[in-house]
C-alpha cells in the first residue's frame, strides 16, 4: 500500500513543486501564465479527453453513467452550499464568491486526475477523469462564468439592460463553445455512434496528449507560487469542504444510489483531489482577483499530501 501511495502521489507533487520553484525563482513568469493556460485548456487537455473518450467502447460509456451522475450531484451540491455560505457568512462580492466557490467545488481534475488515478485503477481511469472534467465543465463552470458576467455588468451599471437570466444564458452559450467542453463532448459523440477512431489519430496526437498531465501540474505549481498565503476562516472552511467533506458527500451519495464499490471508490477519490485552478483562471479573465481563492488553492494543495494519502489507503483496490 505504501508503494501504491508513493507511486500515485510522488509524480503529482514533484511536478507541482517544480512549477512552484520555477515561479518563485522567476525562471518562468508566474504572473502571466496565459500562454501555458491556452496550451493546456485549448489544446492539450481537450485533445487528450477527446482521444480517451472516443477510443472507449460504447458499452463502457453507458457503464459510467452512474459515475457521471454521482459526480454531478456532488459538484453541484457543494457549489450551491459553498456559494451561499460565501455570500451569507463571509460577505464576499458576487464575483469573488463565484471564484472562491468554483475553486472549492471543482477539484483539480485537469492536473492531478490522470497521474493520480492511472497507477491505481489502470488505463480505464482516463475515462473517469474525462467524465469528471466534462461534468464540471457543463455544470458549475458555466454557472461561474455567468455569475462573473453578471457581477461585471452590475459594476459597470449595465445590468439594467439585460436580465440576470439572460446574462446567464449568454455566459452558458460562451462556455459550451470552449474547447474544454467541445473536446470531451465530441469524443462522447464519436464513441456513442460506434465510430472506430483510427489508431493513426491517437498516434498523431500522442506527443501533445502525453504531455497533458505534466503541463497541468507544472501550471498549477506556477500559479501557486504567485499566490499570497493568508490563512483566514474562509480558507480553513474551503479546505475542509474540498479535501474532506466533498469526498465524503460523494461517497455517501454513491452508497445511497447503490453504485458498485469500484465506482464509489473512483468518485470519492476523484473528489478527494485538492482545489482546482479554474476559479482563478476564470476570475483573471474577467478582471476579478480573489486573494482568498489563491490561499485556498495553496492550503488545499499542500494538505492534499495527507488527505489524498488517506483517501488512497481507504479507497484503492486491495
Q: How far apart are CA 114 and CA 94, in angstroms?
A: 32
**DSSP notation for 73-109:** HHHHHHHHHHHHHHHHTS---HHHHHHHHHHHHSB-I
What confidence score (pLDDT) does residue 285 get?
A: 65
Number of H helices, E strands in the chain: 18, 0
pLDDT tens for 237-258 read 999 999 999 999 999 999 999 9
- Looking at the chain, the whole-number percentage of residues with pLDDT higher than 70 is 92
Q: Where are the domains of the chain?
A: 2-315
Candidates 128, 122, 116, 121; CA nearest to 60 is: 128
For the chain, the residue count is 318
- Among all chains, which residue has been given the C-alpha cell 507541482? 16
Candidates 115, 96, 112; CA nearest to 300 is: 112
Q: How far apart are CA 90 and CA 79, in angstroms?
A: 15
Task: Kindly report which listed range (129-133, 262-266, 302-306) carries the lowest average pLDDT score.
Answer: 129-133
CATH number of 2-315: 3.40.710.10, 3.40.50.740, 1.10.10.2120, 1.20.1530.20? 1.20.1530.20
What confidence score (pLDDT) does residue 41 get?
A: 79
pTM (2 decimals)?
0.82
Strand partners, 275: 107
Q: How far apart are CA 99 and CA 288, in angstroms?
A: 8
Q: How far apart are CA 42 and CA 35, in angstroms?
A: 10
pLDDT tens for 165-196 read 776 677 667 767 888 778 888 988 898 898 88
**Average model confidence (pLDDT) across the chain:** 85
What confidence score (pLDDT) does residue 88 get?
A: 95
What confidence score (pLDDT) does residue 8 get?
A: 65
By the 10 Å C-beta count (0-12 exposed, 13-18 middle, 19+ buried), 27 is classed as exposed
Q: Is the pLDDT of residue 4 over 70?
A: no
What confidence score (pLDDT) does residue 277 get?
A: 79
Q: What is the dihedral of CA 123, 128, 129, 132, to 10 degrees?
A: 180
Q: How far apart are CA 265 and CA 317, in angstroms?
A: 9
Specify whether the CB–CB gap between 134 and 188 falls below 8 A: yes
pLDDT tens for 284-299 read 667 777 889 988 988 9
- Among all chains, which residue has been given the C-alpha cell 490561499? 295
Q: 34 versus 222: which is more confidently predicted? A: 222
Task: Kindly report which listed range (66-80, 103-117, 146-160, 211-225) carries the lowest average pLDDT score.
Answer: 146-160
Amino acid at each position: 500500500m505504501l508503494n501504491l501511495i508513493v507511486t500515485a502521489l510522488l509524480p503529482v507533487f514533484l511536478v507541482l513543486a517544480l512549477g512552484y520553484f520555477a515561479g518563485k525563482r522567476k525562471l518562468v513568469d508566474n504572473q502571466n501564465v496565459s500562454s501555458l493556460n491556452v496550451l493546456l485548456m485549448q489544446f492539450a487537455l481537450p485533445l487528450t479527453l477527446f482521444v480517451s473518450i472516443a477510443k472507449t467502447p460504447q458499452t463502457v460509456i453507458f457503464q459510467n453513467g452512474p459515475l457521471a451522475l454521482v459526480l454531478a450531484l456532488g459538484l453541484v451540491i457543494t457549489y450551491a452550499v459553498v456559494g451561499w455560505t460565501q455570500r451569507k457568512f463571509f460577505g464576499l462580492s458576487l464575483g469573488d464568491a463565484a471564484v472562491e466557490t468554483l475553486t472549492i467545488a471543482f477539484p483539480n481534475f485537469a492536473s492531478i486526475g490522470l497521474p493520480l488515478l492511472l497507477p491505481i485503477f489502470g488505463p480505464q481511469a482516463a475515462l473517469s477523469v474525462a467524465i469528471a472534467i466534462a461534468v464540471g465543465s457543463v455544470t458549475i463552470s458555466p454557472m461561474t462564468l455567468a455569475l462573473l458576467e453578471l457581477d461585471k455588468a452590475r459594476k459597470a451599471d449595465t445590468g439594467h439592460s439585460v436580465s440576470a437570466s439572460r446574462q446567464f444564458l449568454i455566459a452558458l452559450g460562451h462556455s459550451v463553445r470552449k474547447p474544454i467542453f467541445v473536446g470531451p463532448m465530441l469524443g462522447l459523440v464519436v464513441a456513442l455512434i460506434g465510430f472506430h477512431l483510427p489508431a493513426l489519430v491517437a498516434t498523431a496526437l500522442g506527443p501533445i496528449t502525453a504531455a497533458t498531465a505534466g503541463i497541468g501540474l507544472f501550471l498549477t505549481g506556477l500559479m501557486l507560487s504567485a499566490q499570497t498565503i493568508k490563512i483566514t476562516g474562509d480558507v480553513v472552511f474551503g479546505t475542509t469542504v474540498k479535501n474532506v467533506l466533498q469526498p465524503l458527500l460523494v461517497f455517501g451519495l454513491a452508497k445511497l444510489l447503490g453504485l458498485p464499490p469500484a465506482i464509489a471508490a473512483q468518485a470519492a477519490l476523484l473528489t478527494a483531489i485538492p482545489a482546482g485552478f479554474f476559479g482563478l483562471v476564470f476570475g483573471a479573465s474577467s478582471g476579478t482577483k480573489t486573494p482568498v481563492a489563491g490561499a485556498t488553492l495553496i492550503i488545499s494543495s499542500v494538505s492534499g499530501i495527507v488527505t489524498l494519502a488517506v483517501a488512497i489507503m481507504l479507497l484503492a483496490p486491495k
